[in-house]
Amino acid sequence: MAATSIRAQALSSSLAVSTACAVRDLVAGWRAQHQTVAVVPTMGNLHEGHLSLVRLARRIADRVVVTIFVNPTQFGPGEDFADYPRTLEEDRESLERSAPVDALFVPDEKEIYPFGTDEAVRLVMPSLSRELCGASRPGHFDGVASVVCRLLNVVGPDVLVLGRKDYQQLILLERLIVDLRLPVRVVPGRTLREPDGLAMSSRNRYLDAEQRRRAPALHAALERVQQALRRGDADHAALERQAIEELERAGFEPDYVEIRRARDLAKPQPGDTPEELIVLGAAWLGAARLIDNSSP
């Protein structure tokens, strides 16, 4: 079937399924027609950033599967698993209206963890998973990797589409795919921002009006560090400290601001050019833990 007719078919309807068997049956039918498959994993509460990833997937594959699953194993004690916004009907309408898909996989917890989360097989990610965001969210990236590996096993896609906002997650999942020799290509999508520069995120809804007004200061601080690097400032520790102080003055509780090597998030080494570096940060603003980076 020609790609144009496939896309026209996808525009007319999307099929929601809840079991691994149903997804595999769909994908098997597409494979029989020599069609490529992209998957976009999400936790739902879709915003324009998610929808842009779906549109990217549509451009690079014949068929697109979006998954919606709020994964309990990536939330730590006291985090917002119970309160995380679950908006399935609105999500379905957004996809049908703005970014049609060929299948919407919405499993329940038992479908993903048939023996329960306490007895589930888990992946242990490398040391990078315990740095940056992982330093304050122990086990988070192990949980992310465990659920993404399951979703890839269920869907069996050619392409995994991920956003650049969760940059550490992107790098770690790329590492997972190479390390486990999974036959999947990772395609990153750019970070979508509000007009004032705030990265789109489901957790932005935790911000009250005053916090929302101040929230763009996180990205602005990271960009100022990136600009200083491009001007030749090589005192990384001072630049990170200045950004932390700037965020504190703006009312944030900073978790970290760090300069890393973009390709693998290793600490910078002598000889790394500013173009090879990325600035990452995370900070609390009220009930919202915001993360961002200087990647486009």
| Active site (catalytic) residues | 50
C-alpha span between 264 and 117 (Å, rounded): 30
Residue 33's φ and ψ, nearest 5 degrees, are: -100, 15
